Amino acid sequence: MDWISYLPPLFSIYLILISGVARSYLRRKVSDFVSRRLVDKTFLDPLIGDTGLNITDKDRLADFIDLFWRSKETVLSNIAVDWATRLNFINSMFAALFSVFSIYSSTNSIQWLVGTSGALLAIFALMLFWVFKFDIDELVSVKTGVFNWTPATTCKMILILVNLILIAAIYVAQRRATP
């Protein structure tokens, strides 16, 4: 048994499972970004100058700017997480495609290489079209399907399943190659 062959799909599953850490990090960074954009009312004095605005007008303007940024925080978070999810999907699929070579190295069978690569490329193409059909931020914000999951969660489940099948294929290929 060559245990190193299992590392690419296992690492891919690991990346999929810890993507929640990246999601919370991105949401926190967007929240920090928005917080830095909130207006200190004294900051408006040099900007407004002698325009004749009184204190209540400055307060209203500051409140309006704060409301604007707060209203955009969720959308900005969803956009950041959406793109991170798309990138994670592509990384996971490339890791799966590269792990096909471990099957070939253990079996020296071009049929296994072509068959597994073809199946993965077909899944990759279909998933790529499916993932990129969603508008920006919909991948993480819209709940669909039977389980009422976001498309990002569905994508993660499919990627984990593909990698588990790939692990099984590596196991079978190694067992067949061992006399």
The greatest distance separating any two alpha carbons of the chain, rounded to the nearest whole angstrom, comes to 90
Burial 78-89 (b: 16+ CB within 10 A, else e): bbbbbebbbebb
pLDDT (0 to 100) of residue 115: 84
Decide: 106 and 173 in contact? Cβ < 8 Å: yes
pLDDT (0 to 100) of residue 140: 87
pTM check: above 0.85 = no
Tens of pLDDT along the chain (179 residues) come to 678 888 888 888 888 888 888 888 998 998 888 887 766 656 555 555 555 555 566 677 777 777 887 888 888 898 998 988 888 888 888 888 887 877 777 667 788 788 888 988 999 999 999 998 998 888 888 887 778 888 888 888 988 998 898 888 888 877 877 76
- Which 3 state secondary structure label does DSSP give 97? helix
Dihedral angle, C-alpha 13, 14, 15, 19, nearest 10 °: 100
Which residue, among 175, 82, 179, has the nearest Cα to 133 in the 3D structure? 82
pLDDT (0 to 100) of residue 55: 58
Q: Supply φ then ψ for residue 148, to 5 degrees.
A: 60, 40
Decide: 107 and 177 in contact? Cβ < 8 Å: yes
